[in-house]
Structure 1
Amino acid sequence: MPRLLLCLLLLGLPWLAQAQVRSYDSIVDSGVLKVALYDDFAPYSFRQQGEPRGVDYALAKALADGLGLRLEVIWAPPGEKLDDDLRDLIWKGHYLRPGVLADVMLRVPYDRAFSFKSNEFGELINELVVMFAPYQRERWQVAYDRRRLEAVPSIAVFQRHPIGVEVESVPSFYLSSVFDGLVREQTHHYPNPQQAFAGLQRGEVHAVMAMRGEIDWQLAQAGNPDLVLAENAYPNMGKQVWDIGMAVHESNRQLAYALEEQLEILILDGRVKAIYAEYGLRYELPGLYQDVD
């Protein structure tokens, strides 16, 4: 850390103090909704030739419009853990972005167990965060090249066929351990799903495993009829399906209620599904809406 920055941190100068959470009234008075989105995370949120793109960006814009506010995006690189991202973007801030907090963050797991996760002292890790408003159900997905692989009836076929995954991802850990490691040698690692998919197109691997949205996006971009979706299961994987929602500071529940109201309108009138279709993605309702008769 640079010496000057370290000195400022130790002195506790005001401009490095904890960022202030804006109240709902302050947000409305400002005319701006600040939304945290992950950067370089296609098809969810990314920039293309300098222009913001992605289903999360489009949803954030629709939510801001519904509240009569202008959208301001806080582009954020993912941290090592989601807990870190919530701290840096929602309730405390980051020393490299002093004074900067988002009003709401998208692409946060809507999961009770995660929301109430505690540390070794029994303290809630995310007690200053409210996770709410599920807007999409996500799954793991395999795509394969049917010129090199007839079908994927189960993961077991990857004992003989190479498959690409993102390094240090859930698919990476899963394929390296399932069936007592019998798939490990055929599991090829890439920096991200896009490069894994590029490896598929070059014939380096015969399949790719990633999140369903990422796979759908890559297939839509490739436009190659020989690259198709598999319909296999993932034995012994643990959590294979999860819902994605939003997060705000626990003091800002009024904003959460307003966003929930706008989101329900967008889901029920089909606009969220249309956003996903625009990017070539399948849209699955989160469990909260599937359970409604």
Structure 2
Amino acid sequence: MLRNKLLTLLIPLLTGLLACEQAFARLYDDVIDSGYIRIGVYKDFPPYSFIQDGEPTGIDVAIAREMAEGLGLELQLHWIIPDEGLEDDLRNNVWKGHYLDKDEDNPLAMKQLADVMLRVPYDKAYAYKQDSLGYLINEHVVMKAPYQQERWQVAYDSKRLKAVRTVAVFQYDPIGVEVDSVPAFYFTSALGGRMRNMTHHYASPRLAFSAMQAGEVAAVMAMQSEIDWLLQQANDPQYRLAENSFPTMGKQTWDIGIAIRQTDRQLGYAVEEVLDRLIRSGEMGALFAGHGVRYTKPAFYQVAEEAATTN
């Protein structure tokens, strides 16, 4: 009798665990057979992915639509809430899931994860990063298919600054940065810390830009695409692009690509083919331009074009 009672309790639990496993184990054939693809994009992250007038919009949302259409599938967006770091985001949204993120229809199972995640830095050193024991930190994911090159950019208030040819001006005039970001670290440590007191921290680049419009700071530093979009939204010639020069900063440009589960490289190849077509045809550049943002091809395409021009 006791054995039967235990089995009665265990069967639903095992069923739930199996459902949890199946929820994030969709391979290429599963995706194609289902008729839809779940693409992960960051929540409330303009100009890449956000909600406007009740509808999903942004550069990465547009790219996701092109990817789904290129594969002949329906698009389902998987909204990502950033955790403490990229490793957490990859674990929670691509290969494992968060134990608190449950499926509403099956409380014992985690929600289905993204089949593909966008806006992942494409960096081989990071991809093969090891822990203290020599194990790969990102062994469960593959980062590939770079589709954009990103960089840092400063925008400034031309009524307060005639030009920004060097960051040294921010020893005397305040600049706004996103809290806990690379620009925040840079401006509080570069030049021997002489810009620290003039560095103002905000929860997002949008709030930093609003602070510039309100006269709190003379400039803002964020990613180029964010700055381009904010300038386009402001539509005011008073706010201008600075001449980028960030001595001792280290890496100032990087490629952006996708992440998939290590067990489903076939889906990655299919998505990569769609992105490659968009880049080579010029459609990717037009897509960025449609959002008021400059587009720079990833390093691979730049090198290939330079080689073709040389030959």
Q: TM-score range by the shorter chain?
A: over 0.9
Q: Does 1:146 align with 2:158?
A: yes
Per the TM alignment, residue 96 of structure 1 is displaced from its structure 2 partner at its CA by 2.5
The residue correspondences of 1:89-104 to structure 2 (distance < 5 A) are 89-97=93-101, 98-104=110-116
Instruction: State the match for 1:162 in structure 2.
Output: 174
Instruction: State the match for 1:46 in structure 2.
Output: 50
Q: Which amino acid aligns with 1:291?
A: V
Deviations 1:185-211 (A, max 9, x none): 010111110000000111110000000
Instruction: State the match for 1:3 in structure 2.
Output: none
The residue correspondences of 1:253-268 to structure 2 (distance < 5 A) are 253-268=265-280
TM-score (norm 1): 0.94
Instruction: State the match for 1:33 in structure 2.
Output: 37
Per the TM alignment, residue 232 of structure 1 is displaced from its structure 2 partner at its CA by 2.8
Per the TM alignment, residue 283 of structure 1 is displaced from its structure 2 partner at its CA by 0.1
Per the TM alignment, residue 278 of structure 1 is displaced from its structure 2 partner at its CA by 1.0
Structure-2 separation of matches of 1:29 and 1:13: 26
Q: Helix, strand or coil: the match of 1:209?
A: strand
Instruction: State the match for 1:275 in structure 2.
Output: 287
Structure-2 separation of matches of 1:15 and 1:106: 29
Per the TM alignment, residue 14 of structure 1 is displaced from its structure 2 partner at its CA by 4.8
Structure 1: runs of 5 or more not aligned: 1-10
Q: Does 1:85 align with 2:92?
A: no
Per the TM alignment, residue 291 of structure 1 is displaced from its structure 2 partner at its CA by 1.2
Q: Given the superposition, is the C-alpha separation of residues 291 and 42 from structure 1 closer, same or farther in structure 2, using an over 3 Å criterion? A: same
Structure-2 separation of matches of 1:15 and 1:195: 43
Q: Does 1:23 align with 2:27?
A: yes
The residue correspondences of 1:100-111 to structure 2 (distance < 5 A) are 100-111=112-123
Structure-1 separation of matches of 2:100 and 2:67: 28
Query: Alignment partner for residue 118 of structure 1, among 130, 134, 137?
Result: 130
Please, what is the CA RMSD of the aligned residues? 1.3
Q: Which amino acid aligns with 2:242?
A: A
Per the TM alignment, residue 49 of structure 1 is displaced from its structure 2 partner at its CA by 2.2
Identity of matched residues, %: 55
Q: Does 1:189 align with 2:201?
A: yes
Instruction: State the match for 2:4 in structure 1.
Output: none
Q: Given the superposition, is the C-alpha separation of residues 200 and 116 from structure 1 closer, same or farther in structure 2, using an over 3 Å criterion? A: same
Q: Helix, strand or coil: the match of 1:290?
A: helix
Per the TM alignment, residue 12 of structure 1 is displaced from its structure 2 partner at its CA by 7.0
Structure-2 separation of matches of 1:14 and 1:291: 51
Structure 2: runs of 5 or more not aligned: 1-11, 102-109
Deviations 1:191-240 (A, max 9, x none): 11000000011111000000001100100000000100001310111111
Query: Alignment partner for residue 199 of structure 1, among 183, 204, 211?
Result: 211
Q: Given the superposition, is the C-alpha separation of residues 144 and 264 from structure 1 closer, same or farther in structure 2, using an over 3 Å criterion? A: same
Structure-2 separation of matches of 1:141 and 1:250: 34
TM-score (norm 2): 0.89
Query: Alignment partner for residue 248 of structure 1, among 240, 245, 260?
Result: 260
Structure-2 separation of matches of 1:215 and 1:232: 12
Deviations 1:229-274 (A, max 9, x none): 0013101111110000001001111111111111111111111111
Structure-1 separation of matches of 2:199 and 2:85: 24
Structure-1 separation of matches of 2:86 and 2:169: 33
Q: Helix, strand or coil: the match of 2:190?
A: helix
